[in-house]
Amino acid sequence: MDKTQNTKQDRIEYQLNYVFWMKISLILILTVFGTVSISAQSVSPLLEAPLLPTIPQQTEHPTQRSTGQKYIEEIWHELESASFVTPTFEELGTLHEGYSFEELWEIAQTYNPSLRQKANLITVATGKHLQAGLYPNPMLIYGGDNLSVNGEAGKHGLGISQEIITAKKKKLDRAIASYEVEAARKKYAMECVKLWNDLRIAHIEMLHAILACKVDEFAQNLSRDLLNVALTRQKQGKTQSVDVLQFRTMLNTSDLICKQMENNRLAAWQHLVSIIGTPDLPYQPVRGSLIDHSPTRDWQTTWTQFQQTSPQLALARLKIAQARMSLAREEADRTSNIYATFSLARDIPAESTVPFVGLSVPLKIYNRNQGNILKARAEIAVIQREIERITLLLHKQLSTIFYNHNNACELIQVYETSIIPDSFEALRQIGENYCKEKMNYLELYTQRQAVVNLLIHYIEALKTKSITSILIDGMLLEGTLD
């Protein structure tokens, strides 16, 4: 009977001890999670996602006119009374119907996948930064000895172990991760400029394709007028039938070229909607102008400004700073972390509680992180050479685009001031002389071809000047879908 009572007393005492240790465990767990929560809240807050870059407003209908442009308008106005259909200067350089660039830009900001991808990468880098600032979780330890031996409760122990980070390693980890966040923000801003440049260039190419169609329509109408003149002269017996055949061949050739230009216009539209991110967007014309009044540029001034503001070089310099921070982190890893343990052991038969405190430190005898330190130093040298490579590459690319821009500026000035006015005047005079039987078909056809080719070359020069201006001002950033 006494033995049965002793057994019941032992069970009651065991249950009380079990409840006692469970309470201690809960207190330790709550304390640990409170510490972790505080350390997580102490991570430095991040900035909000960057705003889209400010885009200068485009002047769609420029009112400024150079002397050459006014002269062209006067020449073409005089030609309206002739038998040739001639475009006005406004028709040649500007379109007034369809999507404006600003409307396309608003659509592209919503649908372009590369821009949204770069925005998501900022969140990825932000998560890495948050994770880098979190302190290691502690470990809860339970141990038992002599359990249910001779009907006794035995010994029970409960403790906690924590890794103590030394040498400011967590601070260095956060600093390295913060560089990744800043790099992600720079890449997002660069993607905005890439999208702006690509869309602006696609818009220019679309304008050029439509204007090229207009030039070909002008050539087609001119060929039709020449054919009508030849037919009239044939009825009057003033020309041979071979002239009519040659003019008809010229008209058929113009029709074929117009169809090819129409296909080029549709291809330019498909290129445009691909950049926007809406390939199913039905075709509509665009409005805007190829006329650019910016003057020629000075090379040294442009290159100096480019080196100071290039986002490619800024991103490479950011990588240098991050690599140096990584080297400091690898050097800090030579200092060992400390592992601390605290536990309480309850000897139920002896009715005593024994605390235990332990510290452990790895000995850096063989592995002193020397390999990672050597690697980090080499990575700094690699990135320094990469900055030099990027600088030379940008110098090469900018020089080509820069001189193409200045060449286009000079071509446009000569076309506007002399070549195009003179060619139209020559066409008018040759046409009058042909009607007076002073010129033959070959001379008239040659001058007609010269006028059409000059118009095509002129709008091509306008396109080149506009695109090179976009690339220079946009820091050569392009390829949003690459």
Residue 148's pLDDT is what?
Answer: 61
Cα separation values, 111 from 30, 115, 240, 273, Å: 47, 8, 61, 10
19: pLDDT strictly greater than 50: no
pLDDT digits (tens, 9 = 90+) for 33-50: 343 333 333 333 333 433
Q: Which residue has the higher pLDDT, 439 or 400?
A: 400
Residue 9's pLDDT is what?
Answer: 54
Comparing 9-23, 46-60, 160-174, 193-207, which segment has the lowest mean pLDDT?
46-60
Question: What burial class does residue 231 get, using C-beta atoms within 10 Å of its C-beta: 0-12 exposed, 13-18 middle, 19+ buried?
Answer: middle
Question: What mean pLDDT is predicted for residues 194-215?
Answer: 91
pLDDT digits (tens, 9 = 90+) for 329-355: 999 999 999 999 998 888 777 778 888
Other CB atoms within 10 Å distance of the CB of residue 289 = 20
Residue 7's pLDDT is what?
Answer: 53
Report the share of the chain in percent with pLDDT over 90. 46
Q: What is the model's pTM?
A: 0.75
What is the pairing mode between strands 155-164 and 139-145?
antiparallel
pLDDT band at 150 (very low <50, low <70, confident <90, very high): low
Residue 151's pLDDT is what?
Answer: 56
pLDDT digits (tens, 9 = 90+) for 92-131: 556 777 888 999 999 999 999 999 999 999 999 999 999 9
Comparing 40-44, 431-435, 438-442, which segment has the lowest mean pLDDT?
40-44
Distance CA 65, CA 70 (A): 6
Q: Which residue has the higher pLDDT, 82 or 191?
A: 191
pLDDT band at 380 (very low <50, low <70, confident <90, very high): very high
Two structure tokens written together for 19: 């409840």
Cα separation values, 214 from 99, 170, 246, 272, Å: 18, 66, 23, 20
For residue 145, give the 3-state DSSP assignment. Answer: strand
Residue 147's pLDDT is what?
Answer: 64
371: pLDDT strictly greater than 90: yes
Residue 149's pLDDT is what?
Answer: 56
460: pLDDT strictly greater than 80: yes
pLDDT band at 426 (very low <50, low <70, confident <90, very high): confident
Other CB atoms within 10 Å distance of the CB of residue 174 = 19
pLDDT band at 22 (very low <50, low <70, confident <90, very high): very low
Residues 6+ apart with CB under 8 A from 182: 318
Q: Which residue has the higher pLDDT, 418 or 233?
A: 418
Two structure tokens written together for 8: 């019941």
List of domains in the chain: 43-50+67-473 (1.20.1600.10)
Residue 440's pLDDT is what?
Answer: 79
Residue 345's pLDDT is what?
Answer: 84
Q: Which residue has the higher pLDDT, 217 or 41?
A: 217
Report the share of the chain in percent with pLDDT over 70. 78
452: pLDDT strictly greater than 50: yes
pLDDT band at 14 (very low <50, low <70, confident <90, very high): very low
Question: What mean pLDDT is predicted for residues 16-33?
Answer: 40
pLDDT band at 372 (very low <50, low <70, confident <90, very high): very high
